[in-house]
Amino acid sequence: MADNDCTTCPELLTRLGAAAGGMDALAALIESEMVAPTMPWRDLLPLLATRARNLADQARGRY
């Protein structure tokens, strides 16, 4: 196996770790809204979509 294998790349691991933390936070938000809603679904869904899109960008290293 090559030394530059991306599965061991520290930058990749950092980005994916941060994205995983964001996914945990997103899941917690969804769960809390299912138990005790704080906003209508029509307002919540765009927020969830934006957060998911931002997490995908973060995992790709776009910011």
End-to-end CA distance of the chain: 29
The pLDDT assigned to 33 comes to 95
Give the pair of three-digit tokens for residue 4: 């530059």
Q: What's the pLDDT score for residue 5?
A: 63
Instruction: Find tokens 């931002």 and name the residue.
Output: 54
pLDDT reported for residue 3: 57
Contact 59/16 with Cβ under 8 angstroms? yes
Q: What's the pLDDT at 26?
A: 95
For the chain, the structural domain boundaries read 10-60
CA angle 22, 23, 26 (to 5 degrees): 90
Contact between 21 and 55 (Cβ < 8 Å)? no
Q: Average pLDDT for consecutive 10-residue bins of the chain (63 residues)?
A: 63 86 94 95 94 90 77
Residue 1 confidence (pLDDT): 47
